[in-house]
Amino acid sequence: GQQLNQNPQSMFIQEGEDVSMNCTSSSIFNTWLWYKQDPGEGPVLLIALYKAGELTSNGRLTAQFGITRKDSFLNISASIPSDVGIYFCAGQLGGNTPLVFGKGTRLSVIA
């Protein structure tokens, strides 16, 4: 099925560093969602974006809905060990359409 291009695929960072990851698509979406998945768990919603250009924060996390509707990014500031996990972006065209997922960004934080 259709997938988003999510980058980077993996990253190793030092504790305290900032992190940035993004998703791009060849088609537009009307909703962008960012999830975090820990091993053996289901994805947990971090941030939901519903309007082009929207910039939303959730604690140390900030995400933006690209103005073209074809991309989104997620930033994590001052990373801590519990930020370790896999981050997935997901786009949705409309309320009745299924989510399209990126392949995930695997984040490792070195203390």
Interface contacts to another protein, rule CB under 8 A: 1, 3, 30-31, 33, 35, 40-45, 48, 50, 88, 90, 92, 95-96, 98-99, 101-104
| Least gap, CB of 71 to another protein (angstroms) | 18
Burial of residue 81 (number of CB atoms within 10 Å: 0-12, 13-18, 19+): exposed
| Least gap, CB of 21 to another protein (angstroms) | 14
107 HSE (CA, 13 A, CB side): 29
| Least gap, CB of 16 to another protein (angstroms) | 27
Distance between CA atoms of residues 14 and 111, nearest Å:
6
**Nearer to another protein among residue 40 and residue 111 (C-beta):** 40
